[in-house]
Amino acid sequence: MTVNVPGPDDGLPPLVDHHCHGVLRHEPDPGTFAAYLTESDRPPAAGTTFFDTQTGFAVRRWCPPLLDLPAHCPPDRYLARRRELGPDETRRRLLGATGIGAYLVDTGLPGDLTGPGETAEAGRGTGYEIVRLEALAERTALGVRDAEEFTHALDTAIHHASRTAVAFKSVAAYRHGLALNPLPPTPGQVHTAVRDWMAAGLSRLTDPVLLRHLVWQAIATGRPLQLHTGFGDPDLRLDRADPALLTDLVRATAGTGTDLVLLHCYPYHRHAAYLANVFPHVYADVGLTLTHTGPRATAVLAEFLELAPFGKLLFSTDAYGLPELYLVGAALFRTALASVLGDWTASGAWSADDARRVGAMIAADTARRVYGLPASEPPG
């Protein structure tokens, strides 16, 4: 079996996947599998299938060889072989071929998913946790009686999380959009907003006062804060997820010492790169975007690298549910990076030494610095 994944022999250090999610513990049925290929939470249009997307084609390109099948084999055949091997062996094979050394897992998504340690173990790497603020707040609210108790419990929960998690994450882009008032709300505003939210039966947290409170509470811990920006599921208004809308918040947080990591960014990745260029505490992430753009990942990565300082860009997969998405994310990143840096070196624009150094920064070194990870992972 030839594994046509550009792997650990491409000169990159073990990758740090600084933003990902657990994978399904159980075998998904074909419809469920296909649904994980898209950010949509809706059925495919009549006459179409989610396999006919760049993500679907990328899965069919990279994964079948690891399950002893030819690349591009039909979905049915692939899914049949997957069932034959079972979820554990599939996961072991796919994650084992990614060359990822550290998994920073956002644990805030629903489903019977592997946790950070469990995910990392299948890939023979190290797992770390990222705490999603809105999920933490919603969970915290379930066990309290009133607004005051909630505020205290939330403080405690965030403080506690900051000792074990490597970062926090905000999905304010989904819940409200990024055009947030940049200042921290006052205690009185927070109290009123919590009371109203509890009175309304603790529905999904969308109050911009509470979303801002979470952001500022997380920032106070000094842990890097990941912010969803750019595309996602249909719950989001794309134009309200433009990272440029965060400019005022970026300015307001410039003196805190806390780093902000703009996730995904597409199709506003040039905007995100600009923010990373001019604000020292802003970083940008290529994850999700590369996974969903297939052979265009090369061009999109190059667009990120127009204005993003080379020490401000971070690899991730944003894989969720399927171990296939880890493999595809890593393979597309490796392919795109090799292509971009190879072209620039061949033309004389960059030196080979610089290209190697920049590749390692994006793949792992910057994430290790930003999240305070050990210089390399202990053997798994």
**Which amino acid appears at position 149 of this protein?**
E
Q: Decide: is 293 part of the binding site for a copy of itself (CB under 8 A).
A: yes
Q: Decide: is 42 part of the binding site for a copy of itself (CB under 8 A).
A: yes
| Joined tokens for residue 243 | 């990272």
Among 113, 247, 338, 356, binds a copy of itself (CB under 8 A): 247
Q: What is the DSSP string of 216-258?
A: HHHHHHTS-EEEEES--STTS-GGGG-GGGGHHHHHHTTTS--
Instruction: Please report how close the Cβ of residue 4 comes to a copy of itself at its closest, in angstroms.
Output: 8
Among 8, 32, 267, 356, binds a copy of itself (CB under 8 A): 267
Q: Decide: is 183 part of the binding site for a copy of itself (CB under 8 A).
A: no
Instruction: Please report how close the Cβ of residue 336 comes to a copy of itself at its closest, in angstroms.
Output: 11
Among 238, 252, 338, 360, binds a copy of itself (CB under 8 A): 238
Report, in angstroms and rounded to the nearest whole number, the Rg of the chain calculated over CA atoms: 21
Binding mask 301-320 for a copy of itself (x = CB under 8 A): -xx-xxx-xxxx--------
The DSSP letter of residue 8 is G
Taking the least distance from each CB to a copy of itself, the nearer of 202 and 352 is: 352
Taking the least distance from each CB to a copy of itself, the nearer of 47 and 379 is: 47
| Joined tokens for residue 220 | 């106070």
Among 32, 38, 181, 189, binds a copy of itself (CB under 8 A): 38
Among 7, 8, 30, 44, binds a copy of itself (CB under 8 A): 44
Buried (b) or exposed (e) across 235-258, using 16+ Cβ within 10 A? ebeeeebbbebbbebbebbeeeeb
Stretch (H or E) spanning 375: none
Give SS3 for 2.
Answer: coil
Among 5, 137, 275, 336, binds a copy of itself (CB under 8 A): 275
Q: Decide: is 76 part of the binding site for a copy of itself (CB under 8 A).
A: no
Binding mask 350-379 for a copy of itself (x = CB under 8 A): xx-xx---x--x----x--x----------
Instruction: Please report how close the Cβ of residue 143 comes to a copy of itself at its closest, in angstroms.
Output: 34
Cα separation, 260 vs 224, in Å, equals: 6
Q: Decide: is 31 part of the binding site for a copy of itself (CB under 8 A).
A: no
Cα separation, 93 vs 359, in Å, equals: 25
Cα separation, 13 vs 100, in Å, equals: 9
Q: Decide: is 203 part of the binding site for a copy of itself (CB under 8 A).
A: no
Q: Decide: is 204 part of the binding site for a copy of itself (CB under 8 A).
A: no
# residues near a copy of itself by CB under 8 A: 74
**Which amino acid appears at position 173 of this protein?**
A
Instruction: Please report how close the Cβ of residue 262 comes to a copy of itself at its closest, in angstroms.
Output: 13
Instruction: Please report how close the Cβ of residue 238 comes to a copy of itself at its closest, in angstroms.
Output: 4
Q: How far is CA 275 from CA 202, 236, 283, in A?
A: 35, 22, 8
- Select the span of 88-96, 167-175, 206-214, 279-287 touching a copy of itself (CB under 8 A): 279-287
| Joined tokens for residue 376 | 């390399």
Given its phi and psi angles, is residue 208 left (phi above 0), alpha (psi -120 to 50 degrees) or beta? Answer: alpha
